[in-house]
Structure 1
Amino acid sequence: MSLEEKFQVLSVEFQKLQSTLAAAIEKRERLEAQLSENELVKKEFATLTSENTVFKLIGPVLVKQEQSEAKSNVNTRIDFIRSELKRVEGQITETETKQEKTKQELVAIQTTIQQQAQQPQQVQV
């Protein structure tokens, strides 16, 4: 495989990594928003008394729900979102590492191609 072909292949790979990274960052932002929302709900639950009624929205209908069950659901959701955030952060770090490595390879190949392009010119002069 020639240097130009290898450069093309790495360029495509680099673009794919950029897309993967952008998608992962977008997912992280969504998860952070969900986490924030659920933590607000958890704070609201902390202010409830035993006389307060909790309702859950299921489709277009509000259904009465036990406070303990609602609190448990929110805590479970928070734990899940945190673990998902941790996984996405790992994916982002891994993708950034791969992207940096690919970028370095691209620069090295580009430098080599430029040096090879200059060598014949220097011989003719």
Structure 2
Amino acid sequence: MKIAKNHQMRKKYTVQLGENELVLKELDLLREDANVYKLIGPVLVKQDLAEANANVGKRIEYISAELKRLDATVQDLEEKQNSKKETILKLQQRIQSLQAGKGKA
């Protein structure tokens, strides 16, 4: 359950990362005197190009860090899940061997 939720969040952040990288590429194509606008609610607000670049860069850093965190969490959860599977398999084998021993007696 937690693994599926983490995969869903990872997918969301991956899409956001792609979008922000695309925005950064588009901003790099602009001249320094170009008008840049940021959507805040229903209003477009004029923004400095350098500030827009910095904001998108920070967003990319944040999303990348979240992706790394989610990857570590998923890896940890998968390791715990595999450990539980091994424990269950060992218990099942022990039960089968005990049942086989009772059948022979």
- Settle same-fold status: TM greater than 0.5: yes
In the other structure, the counterpart of 1:9 is none
TM-score (norm 1): 0.79
For the residue of structure 2 that corresponds to 1:84, the secondary structure is helix
Q: Distance in 1 between matches of 2:27 and 2:6?
A: 31
Deviation at 1:64, TM superposition (A): 1.1
In the other structure, the counterpart of 1:45 is 27
TM-score (norm 2): 0.93
In the other structure, the counterpart of 2:8 is 26
CA RMSD, Structure 1 to Structure 2 (Å): 1.1
Q: Distance in 2 between matches of 1:82 and 1:98?
A: 24
Q: Any unmatched runs of 5+ in structure 1?
A: 1-18
Deviation at 1:51, TM superposition (A): 3.0
For the residue of structure 2 that corresponds to 1:49, the secondary structure is coil
- After alignment, is 70-79 or 55-64 more displaced? 55-64
| Superposed counterparts of 1:72-91, under 5 Å | 72-91=54-73
Q: Distance in 2 between matches of 1:32 and 1:75?
A: 15
In the other structure, the counterpart of 2:81 is 99
Deviation at 1:60, TM superposition (A): 1.2
1:47-88 C-alpha deviation (Å, 9 max, x unpaired): 001232111111111111111111110000001111111111
| Alignment equivalent of 2:50, drawn from 36, 56, 68 | 68
Question: Are residue 117 (structure 1) and residue 99 (structure 2) matched?
Answer: yes
Q: Any unmatched runs of 5+ in structure 2?
A: none
In the other structure, the counterpart of 1:35 is 17
Instruction: State, as a whole percentage, how many aligned pairs show the same letter.
Output: 39
